[in-house]
Amino acid sequence: MGNAEEERALREQRLGPVVRRRHQMRPETTDQRLLDTQGATHWVHEDPFRVMRIQSEFVEGFGTLAELGRAISVFGSARTPEGSPEYEAGVRIGRALAEAGFGVITGGGPGAMEAANRGATEAGGVSVGLGIELPYEQGLNPYVDIGVNFRYFFVRKTMFVKYAQGFVVLPGGLGTLDECFEALTLVQTRKVTRFPIVLFGSAYWKGLVDWLTNTLIAEGKASPHDLDLFHLTDDIDEVIDLVTKESGP
């Protein structure tokens, strides 16, 4: 083998921590591959890349809310109209929570969520909105002081529970029921502890409580003790008392 051939054979290419030699060398650099806009794009829709998006949402959520302090997540319908008794109750609850030293976390949307954020903001408290990407864009309501928008429901749900000391559940629809039953399951299975769940509006929730009692528990699908996992009230002072007493200092 001549000198030129020997020199060519011993050449090497360093790509970060990787060394490539001889026929394993590549004609382009890592930066070239990164900046090449002509390459295939299907990878942005595949699961490995989604994992990175999911990770980034957890990092953003944790980083934003880690120093929030004591807070209560308040749920309720996005369809609750401003000026209705339910909306006004949401404002009063948000205000009372802020005055008791709690931040208020909602889904950041309109209706009951806006009401609770409004009450917290007007009382000078911390008002948080955790939005979600939906086919019909709602955006964060104007009373949110700290807002984080999520692509994935399960990441958002983690934030609702991790950074709250309890739930207050106003009259709402499927999303409200989803959050409520997830919290009940977490407490029932002891995945979270000292986590009060308060259903506000006895007239609205009575049918659900009756079904839990007369069907779910009566047929042995749940324990009578599971009714102790939540409280039902129409009294805002009792709401504050319950979340303060059960969530601890």
Number of domains within the chain: 1
Best-predicted range by mean pLDDT (25-29, 138-142, 165-169, 190-194):
165-169
Q: What is this structure's pTM? A: 0.81
Residue type present at position 90: G
pLDDT tops 60 at residue 212: yes
pLDDT tops 60 at residue 4: no
100 domain residue, yes or no: yes
138 domain residue, yes or no: yes
Domain encompassing residue 101: 70-247
**Mean predicted lDDT score pLDDT of the chain:** 88
pLDDT in tens, 84-104: 999 999 999 999 999 999 999
Question: What's the rounded Cα separation, in Å, for the pair 206 and 202?
Answer: 6
Q: What is the band of 7 on the pLDDT scale with cuts at 50, 70, 90? A: low
For the segment 19-42, the average pLDDT, to the nearest whole number, is: 68
Determine the pLDDT at residue 29. 66
The CATH number assigned to the domain holding 100 equals 3.40.50.450
214 domain residue, yes or no: yes
pLDDT tops 70 at residue 21: no
Question: What's the rounded Cα separation, in Å, for the pair 123 and 5?
Answer: 79
Facing residues of 146 across strands? 128
Determine the pLDDT at residue 101. 96
Q: What is the band of 6 on the pLDDT scale with cuts at 50, 70, 90? A: low
Q: Tell me the three state secondary structure of residue 178.
A: helix
133 domain residue, yes or no: yes
23 domain residue, yes or no: no
Question: What's the rounded Cα separation, in Å, for the pair 85 and 173?
Answer: 17
pLDDT tops 90 at residue 121: yes
Question: What's the rounded Cα separation, in Å, for the pair 208 and 64?
Answer: 35
Determine the pLDDT at residue 76. 97
Helix axes 112-122 and 85-99, enclosed angle (nearest 10): 40
54 domain residue, yes or no: no
pLDDT tops 60 at residue 239: yes
Determine the pLDDT at residue 221. 96
24 domain residue, yes or no: no
Determine the pLDDT at residue 147. 92
